Structure 1
Amino acid sequence: MRMRALAVVIGMLVASYGVTSGSAHAASSLYEAENATVFHGTVDRDHLGYTGTGFVNTANEVGAYVEFSVSAPAAGGFALALRHANGTGAGRAGTVSVNGTVISAPAFAATTDWNTWAVTRIPVTLRAGTNAIRVTGTTAGGLPNLDSLTVSDPRSTDWADALVDSTMQRYTPATVGGWSYPVALYLMGQYQVAQHTADPARRAALIAYIKAWADRFVDASGHIGITFNSLDSMMPGQVMIALYRETGEAKYGLAAKQIHDRLLPGAGYPTTSDGGFWHANSADRANQLWSDGTFMADPFMAQYGRYIGDSAQSYDIAAKQLVVYASHLQQANGLLKHAYDASKAATWSDPNSGLSSEYWCRAVGWYGVAATEILDLIPADHPLRAQLTATVRDLVRGIAAYQDPASGRWFQVVDKGSSAGNWTETSCSAMFTLTADAAIKRGYVPAATYQATVDAGKRGELDRISLHSDGLTYLTSISVGTNVGDYAYYTARSRATNDFHGLGAFLYFFEQVNG
């Protein structure tokens, strides 16, 4: 059991009796809804998964409420976590007030059913002593079923859980997005959260969400109606492998096989003369290797080898691609250029080297995440292991050299932090911190040299996420999807909030550094 999961269990056992640790920023306290003041509602036990002795089912009316009496040892900022279920299929909005002042109006989005519990987290300021926290229904449907309220130091927030809860409230499996790598990246981050949770019911709910998304694309025979003519289109195959591992259903394994077989020698997917997969089988991507592409296809192949079959060939393909790409893209400073055109025909390619001009941060990050994962998956005696380990070692050296000392993050164009218009980007900062942390923990690089890089990166990344009064998380300054370009192009890219590139990268990062 992970330490954070153990802490949750201990906290539930102790704090369910209203016990709070000795300082305002020390621990969490759990208050069961059935012990609160209830106006127009009942304590019920006819659904599964509640804590304590029951949950509160308010009347279907505007104004029904549950009021908790919360003790704070000192005035200060806290985070509220309301655990609720809403099986109606529609939101049941409400308000949250502290000592008579409304501070939030959460939507309380629908959950899969009444046995599936979600958490809405809200930042608050409490006074020393007793505080009245009231949750009131504002629609004719009343409130969702309320199980408990946890009050904690916001610095102890499990940001991976909070981000997943927020995203699942914002989107259903039908509205989260189509077959694309940014959505699949997020879902694979959610899968990592599911793997690490100690609560079986929560784990099942997270997997069910992923499965509902996948079932939009995979028929009963395991067929996906996509041509797979780009590496980007193959990355969601990781979701198929994850579901095959979880369910054992043949259709997910067969769906993954469809993508796997597309990349086998002789299957027709084009490569450069030295065997590197083109970024896409299209005129504008012909002969091109993008650092991004290593994450889109290579971890999928290694995962296929580990969890489905054809292991020796799949491992060899994944490792070879990393080596071929690095042979063209990795430079003496350890970083990788964004792209290489073997034909030197692209407008962005250098006529002599075929390389693009810049080190775009997320492209470099994709390679780091792919390489560290594939080293975890391939056998210890794989003939390319030493070469891949050296590549990661050089990459971490480059990552550390270009970290922004002020923020702990990394710049959109990595090596030009002092140039006009450059800015620190969230998704690559997550990936760089993950890569350095994984390299330390696997023994590829020394902690004495690089732990400070990880620590600063973690602080910088966490500075980019926050809870808002609507009860949801917001992750800021994420570069939107990006092609190959010059300095002005990269720095002019839009800086999005809650873009899936950033959400997924954040989950990967958080699960790695806290694992």
Structure 2
Amino acid sequence: MRIRALVVAIGMIAASYAVAVGPAHAASTAYEAEKATVFHGTVDSDHTGFTGTGFVNTANEVGSYVQFTVNAPTAGAATLALRYANGTATGRKGSVSVNGAAVSTPEFAPTANWDSWAAARVPVTLKAGTNQVRVVTTTTGGLPNLDSLTVSDAQSTDWSDAMIDSTMQRYTPSSVGGWSYPVALYMMGQYQVAQRTTDPARRAALIAYVKAWADRFVNTSGHIDNSFDTLDSMMPGQVMIAMYRETGQAKYRLAAQQIHDRLLPSGGYPTTSDGGFWHGDSADRTDQLWSDGAFMADPFMAQYAKYIGDSTQSFDIATKQLVIYASHLQQPNGLLKHAYDASRSASWADPNTGLAPEYWCRAIGWVGVAATEMLDLIPADHPRRAQLVSIVQNLVRGMAAYQDPSTGRWFQVVDKGSSAGNWTETSCSAMYTLTVDAAIKGGYVSRADYQPTVDSGKRGELNRISLHTDGLTYLTSISVGTNVGDYAYYINRPQATNDFHGLGAFLYFYEQVYH
């Protein structure tokens, strides 16, 4: 949960070559801009948040530049992170060259103001020894204020940092998307990054972005204009709890309470005969429990209990729901079927068991993320803790059994990796690796037995993300939103790049496994 600055900006998705990735580790060197060679510019200190003794303010003309002398111990791929501030409303384009050869033209998108700092990242190849890295103005508007250049070997990129900077360059809080669980999942991932940052300005900027998104939906009285008739619509309530934790403002508490009260027995949200929340209050969701729903409502209630109040009742509801869902959906192999229809009337439901036919990967991942988070939230002596631990233990056993040994990832239809057309999917692979890692760290499963699953999962997940010469990250092979279906339906779902299901899942994974 960390990073360095805020970018609130425009969307641009360009393509070019990408650098190879591998396990993250610390191997970076920072160079202050005020100590570099400056052509037509000044060293200033009239804004806050810079490192060192100041920052470089280049002249507003074409051709002014800042040149860094970079020493590389060995030749090879590296990532340049240029820390900058751009308090204008538009991007300030520049050109980056290494040893005289142009390698990138980053946009240097707007930040919130001149006191907010962001990082523009460029993949390069350095020679052993001395390298000259020059950042040149290409327009009469000049460069943004440059604070520093951090040079990292290609394997030490902080991918949470890079992904957040890229996403905030592509979208403003008003253009990133509406009240939906995929966008809220991303916001909660960004919130985790903010929680672990050590840079106060960066932390404030990350929170400000999430808060600006949340403020689109809650009025000053704490009301959200939503009927909350689906579990999916309730998941963004986690963002309201997060913003209440950060600001203490009553409107966020009241917004969360609106969702909380809908899930109380008095709130009237429909349930199966044994008390499980329907996935949605509509004709095509009647009496149905979807594995997805375990994440959409249960962690919210547990967070509400932990951070707002009503702890006894809310913890009871959250844990009861997870146990009910698992009682119907979790199978002897440890995995969960995508859905269960208590009425047996859905077209996909087995007439005898009411179960959906397949194990869809992301549906299972939602349960893993929900269960491990809830074990962190509920009291140590909670009466259902042992049941939640058992659910996680069985789930980890199943996940490990079906991991693809060649890629380290998991298949869209989990148990049919050898079947025609099946493919390894990015968001669930992040969730599964996270779940196994959290189970090891929580002491629920043996490190000796399952650490290889985590190590292979890390490798597989990082092979799906790359940094392009436009300075932005690209996360590939993400299944778009998916209903309940048969094998052909799942494997033919579109595979998207930078879909928010994947971005959010990746942030959860990276913060759990690497931080």
Q: Same fold (TM over 0.5)?
A: yes
Deviations 1:105-148 (A, max 9, x none): 11111101111100111110011222111112222211111000
1:169 offset after TM fit, Å? Answer: 1.2
**3-state DSSP of counterpart to 1:281:** coil
Corresponding residue for residue 9 of structure 1:
none
1:186 offset after TM fit, Å? Answer: 0.3
Structure 2: distance between partners of 1:174 and 1:113: 17
Structure 1: distance between partners of 2:74 and 2:365: 42
Structure 2: distance between partners of 1:283 and 1:94: 55
Corresponding residue for residue 182 of structure 1:
182
Specify whether residues 505 and 26 from structure 1 end up closer, same or farther in structure 2 by C-alpha distance, changes over 3 A only: closer
Which structure exhibits the higher relative contact order, with contacts defined as CA atoms closer than 8 Å and separated by 6 or more residues?
Answer: 2
Structure 1: distance between partners of 2:423 and 2:285: 28
1:162 offset after TM fit, Å? Answer: 1.1
Corresponding residue for residue 159 of structure 2:
159
Structure 1: distance between partners of 2:316 and 2:490: 34
Deviations 1:20-52 (A, max 9, x none): xxxxx9832211111112222111100001011
Matches within 5 A, 1:2-21: none
1:60 offset after TM fit, Å? Answer: 1.8
Matches within 5 A, 1:268-287: 268-287=268-287
**3-state DSSP of counterpart to 2:265:** coil
Corresponding residue for residue 474 of structure 2:
474
Q: Which amino acid aligns with 2:108?
A: F
Matches within 5 A, 1:187-226: 187-226=187-226
Deviations 1:232-276 (A, max 9, x none): 010000000000001100100000000000110021111111111
Deviations 1:193-252 (A, max 9, x none): 011111111111110110011111111111111111110010000000000001100100
Aligned pair 1:244/2:279, yes or no?
Answer: no
1:64 offset after TM fit, Å? Answer: 2.1
TM-score w.r.t. length of structure 2: 0.94
Structure 1: distance between partners of 2:135 and 2:393: 52
Instruction: Quote the RMSD (CA, aligned, Å).
Output: 1.3
Q: Which amino acid aligns with 2:100?
A: G
Specify whether residues 223 and 28 from structure 1 end up closer, same or farther in structure 2 by C-alpha distance, changes over 3 A only: same
Corresponding residue for residue 375 of structure 2:
375
Matches within 5 A, 1:323-402: 323-402=323-402
Specify whether residues 130 and 366 from structure 1 end up closer, same or farther in structure 2 by C-alpha distance, changes over 3 A only: same
Structure 2: distance between partners of 1:100 and 1:372: 51
Structure 1: distance between partners of 2:385 and 2:131: 58
Give 5+ residue unaligned stretches, structure 1. Answer: 6-24
Structure 2: distance between partners of 1:59 and 1:294: 55
Q: Which amino acid aligns with 1:280?
A: G
Corresponding residue for residue 7 of structure 2:
none
Corresponding residue for residue 417 of structure 1:
417
More displaced, 439-448 or 133-142?
133-142
Corresponding residue for residue 118 of structure 2:
118
Give 5+ residue unaligned stretches, structure 2. Answer: 4-24
Matches within 5 A, 1:489-500: 489-500=489-500
**3-state DSSP of counterpart to 1:344:** coil
Structure 2: distance between partners of 1:172 and 1:138: 25
1:74 offset after TM fit, Å? Answer: 2.1
Q: Which amino acid aligns with 1:298?
A: D
1:166 offset after TM fit, Å? Answer: 1.1
Aligned pair 1:74/2:104, yes or no?
Answer: no
Structure 2: distance between partners of 1:155 and 1:328: 43
Deviations 1:421-471 (A, max 9, x none): 001111000100111011111111111111111111111111111111111
Matches within 5 A, 1:433-512: 433-512=433-512
Aligned residues: 494
Structure 2: distance between partners of 1:472 and 1:97: 17
Identity across matched positions, percent:
77
More displaced, 98-107 or 246-255?
98-107
Structure 2: distance between partners of 1:191 and 1:242: 8
